[in-house]
């Protein structure tokens, strides 16, 4: 009888000690015979490193580039020995002991699978929007917040791209599509990965037999941090559109997403009584324009590798509810 494949669980951490104290124990207790755990620390100063060093069965890597998540994810996977990788954020609680076996079985039985996105919900919520994401001419499509019983019924549907907090993928396929784009520091990682997989002929699926718990909440109340993240995310999305969309859909989507970004910035500034989200729109656009040559060079690379000649990811619809 053949041994089951080795699965690498890769976790990127930055000052996440409070999260690690809750998330690591369930990972160490998973019911699967062959898996390794790699934590890539991204420059923590909160005691995370000392905490990880005390844990048996956990390998610690320290990223040579600090606070750059996309690089750290690639760095961890490049050092992983597994045939498959479960890439997790440090604030995700895995609540299914047999999840590695079930993910592997699902992966092997699915049609032309690229990656699997795990469904999750924010701790304390009674519904969730984290059941895969879908793309359109305004870039990311809005989805309804669904009850958990409904999300479980969606198990196995095709999605546009997975949520970056929890992704299961073959190591070979990750390397084939180039992993995460290290040019981006924040935002654009998961949607870029999903689009690249689609362009190279793969499909992305939702795993929702169980729904994992996301215990880290975004810092939406801090206006300065929100404005900084919105600037970086807006830029990342514009860059991703230029890289990956076919020429005509790229032009349409850039136009429509620019309007969406402008009105979102105005709305957030009015809601927060703070001008910084509005200014973030122009900052993000400025960064996009000065980095446009980089995006175009990346575009040449991606478009030369694509197998699917039309933007198939635009045809994948959110579930009807």
pLDDT exceeds 90 at position 224: no
Confidence category of residue 1, pLDDT binned at 50, 70, 90: low
pLDDT at 218 over 90: no
Walk me through the domains of the chain, giving residue ranges and CATH numbers.
Answer: 7-214 (3.90.550.10), 223-315 (no CATH)
Query: How confident is the prediction for the chain on average, in pLDDT?
Result: 95
What pLDDT score does 217 carry? 75
- Cα separation, 218 vs 165, in Å, equals 12
Average pLDDT over residues 300-319: 94
* Percent with pLDDT over 90 in the chain: 90
Whole-prediction pTM value? 0.95
Q: What is the pLDDT of residue 3?
A: 86
The pLDDT of residue 188: 86
Question: pLDDT per residue over 235-265, tens digit each?
Answer: 999 999 999 999 999 999 999 999 999 999 9
CA distance 138 to 195: 15
Instruction: Note the pLDDT tens digit of each residue in 24-60.
Output: 999 999 999 999 999 999 999 999 999 999 999 999 9
What's the pLDDT tens digit per position in 186-208?
Answer: 778 999 999 999 999 999 999 99
Structure confidence at residue 50 (pLDDT)? 97
What does the alpha-carbon distance between residue 208 and residue 231 come to, in Å, rounded to a whole number?
32
Average confidence (pLDDT) over 148-162? 97
Q: What is the mean pLDDT of residues 162-167?
A: 94
What's the rounded mean pLDDT across residues 108-127? Answer: 95
Residues 105-133 have a mean pLDDT of 96
């Amino acid at each position: 009888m053949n041994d089951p494949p080795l699965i690498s669980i890769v976790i990127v951490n930055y000052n996440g000690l409070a999260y690690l104290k809750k998330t690591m124990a369930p990972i160490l207790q998973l019911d699967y015979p062959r898996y390794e755990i790699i934590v890539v620390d991204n420059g923590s100063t909160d005691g995370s490193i000392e905490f990880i060093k005390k844990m048996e069965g956990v390998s610690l890597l320290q990223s040579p580039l600090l606070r750059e998540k996309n690089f750290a994810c690639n760095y961890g996977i490049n050092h992983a020995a597994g045939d498959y990788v479960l890439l997790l954020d440090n604030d995700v609680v895995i609540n299914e002991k047999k999840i590695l076996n079930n993910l592997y079985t699902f992966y092997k039985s699915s049609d032309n699978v690229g990656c699997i996105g795990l469904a999750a919900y924010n701790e304390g919520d009674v519904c969730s929007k984290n059941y895969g994401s879908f793309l359109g001419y305004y870039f990311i499509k809005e989805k309804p917040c669904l009850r958990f019983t409904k999300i479980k019924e969606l198990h196995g549907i095709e999605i546009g791209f997975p949520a970056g907090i929890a992704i299961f993928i073959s190591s070979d396929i990750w390397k084939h599509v180039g992993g995460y784009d290290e040019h981006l520091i924040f935002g654009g990682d998961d949607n870029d990965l999903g689009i690249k997989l689609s362009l190279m002929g793969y499909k992305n699926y939702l795993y929702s037999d169980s729904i994992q718990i996301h215990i880290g909440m975004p810092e939406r109340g801090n206006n300065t941090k929100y404005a900084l993240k919105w600037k970086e995310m807006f830029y990342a999305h514009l860059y991703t559109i230029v890289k990956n969309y076919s020429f005509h859909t790229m032009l349409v989507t850039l136009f429509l997403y620019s309007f969406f970004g402008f009105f979102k910035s105005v709305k957030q500034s009015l809601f927060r009584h703070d001008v910084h989200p509005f200014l973030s729109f122009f900052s993000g656009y400025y960064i996009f324009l000065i980095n446009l040559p980089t995006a175009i060079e990346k575009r040449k690379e991606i478009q030369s590798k694509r197998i699917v000649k039309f933007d198939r990811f635009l045809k994948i619809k959110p579930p009807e509810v």
